[in-house]
């Protein structure tokens, strides 16, 4: 699917890098962005790129990033996983599910090649669905689940799974974004990521690392009331390089009480 607001990626990456499909479209550095993973709504004037949940529809005429929870269960989806793929849910030594308490999401088990292959069939199907719906890119969330795994997962496990997802995305004609996780930033070429989606990079002094790694092709979300760095400060530091937006923590749709959106 063509899109006038993005750059074409080369058909073959440089030495040591994964091959990418010739029709993958990269976002343009600095394009105005809106984070709509809570629910899609009419993009504000001037917006040229949005990220929306995989079950939502892309915004016509914009660069659309498809949100996929690739390393943890979505809220409300645990029973489906337990009924259909219980062996893919990460458990501790007592057999109890390991949960991301912040979002009440169970971690998926990427610890073996067999489990990663099985997971890739599921998540890969979602990625194919993003392409069929008309998205230009995919954003696989919770790449950093190893940090919450009680030592059951490693960076290597998640990097291997991310590489499989990158290949699947490219074969479907989609670019793929690294979601957070500076621990894996030095491996982004090896994995196959094309751009970054970061949360609170200004708060954690990480925006520069992402900007340098991805030639400023960074969608950065700051959250209202979170952290000590004022959004104006973030804009002064990074607003002329990367796509920076302030949202409410629940990423509510426009018109709902609590909705927040500001740009630089």
Q: What is the CATH number of the domain that holds 252?
A: 3.20.20.70
**Two tokens at 183?**
């621990």
Eight-class DSSP state of 100: E
Residue 227: its pLDDT value, please? 87
Please determine, for residue 1, whether its predicted confidence score (pLDDT) is greater than 60.
no
Q: 122 by DSSP, 3-state: which?
A: helix
Q: Is residue 19 part of a domain?
A: yes
Please determine, for residue 260, whether its predicted confidence score (pLDDT) is greater than 60.
yes
Please determine, for residue 9, whether its predicted confidence score (pLDDT) is greater than 90.
no
Find the mean pLDDT for residues 117-143. Answer: 98
Q: Which residues face 219 on adjacent strands?
A: 197, 243
Please determine, for residue 18, whether its predicted confidence score (pLDDT) is greater than 60.
no
Number of domains in the chain: 1
Eight-class DSSP state of 133: H
Q: Is residue 1 part of a domain?
A: no
Tens digits of per-residue pLDDT, 160-186?
999 999 999 999 999 999 999 999 999
- 217 near 193, Cβ under 8 Å? no
Q: Is residue 254 part of a domain?
A: yes
Closest listed residue to residue 84, CA positions, set 111, 112, 108: 108
> What percent of the chain clears pLDDT 70, i.e. is strictly above it?
92
- Rounded Cα–Cα distance for residues 111 and 134 (Å): 32
Residue 171: its pLDDT value, please? 96
pTM: 0.92
Residue 96: its pLDDT value, please? 97
- How high is the mean pLDDT of the chain? 93
Residue 6: its pLDDT value, please? 53
Find the mean pLDDT for residues 221-230. Answer: 94
Q: Is residue 149 part of a domain?
A: yes
Tens digits of per-residue pLDDT, 78-128?
999 999 999 999 999 999 999 999 899 999 999 999 999 999 999 999 999
- 36 near 52, Cβ under 8 Å? yes
Tens digits of per-residue pLDDT, 25-68?
999 999 999 999 999 999 999 999 999 999 999 999 999 999 99
Q: Is residue 166 part of a domain?
A: yes
Please determine, for residue 217, whether its predicted confidence score (pLDDT) is greater than 70.
yes
Please determine, for residue 3, whether its predicted confidence score (pLDDT) is greater than 60.
no
Determine the structural domain holding residue 15 and report its residue range: 6-263
Residue 14: its pLDDT value, please? 34
């Amino acid at each position: 699917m063509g899109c006038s607001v993005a750059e074409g990626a080369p058909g073959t990456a440089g030495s040591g890098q994964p091959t990418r499909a010739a029709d993958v479209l990269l976002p343009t550095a600095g394009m105005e962005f809106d984070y709509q993973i809570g629910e899609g709504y009419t993009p504000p004037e001037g917006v040229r790129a949005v990220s929306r949940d995989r079950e939502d529809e892309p915004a016509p005429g914009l660069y659309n990033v498809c949100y996929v929870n690739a390393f943890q269960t979505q809220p409300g989806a645990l029973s489906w996983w337990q009924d259909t793929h219980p062996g893919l849910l990460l458990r501790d030594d007592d057999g109890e599910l390991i949960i991301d308490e912040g979002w009440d999401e169970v971690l998926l088990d990427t610890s073996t090649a067999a489990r990663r292959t099985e997971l890739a069939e599921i998540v890969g199907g979602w990625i194919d669905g993003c392409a069929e719906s008309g998205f230009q890119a995919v954003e696989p969330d919770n790449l950093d689940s190893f940090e919450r795994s009680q030592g059951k997962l490693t960076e290597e496990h998640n990097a291997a799974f991310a590489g499989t997802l990158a290949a699947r995305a490219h074969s479907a004609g989609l670019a793929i974004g690294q979601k957070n996780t500076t621990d894996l930033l030095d491996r982004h070429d090896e994995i196959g990521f094309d751009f970054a989606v970061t949360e609170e990079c200004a708060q954690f002094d990480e925006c520069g690392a992402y900007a340098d790694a991805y030639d400023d092709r960074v969608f950065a979300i700051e959250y209202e009331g979170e952290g000590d760095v004022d959004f104006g400060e973030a804009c002064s530091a990074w607003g002329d390089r990367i796509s920076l937006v302030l949202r409410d923590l629940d990423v509510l749709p426009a018109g709902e009480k609590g909705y927040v959106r500001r740009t630089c």
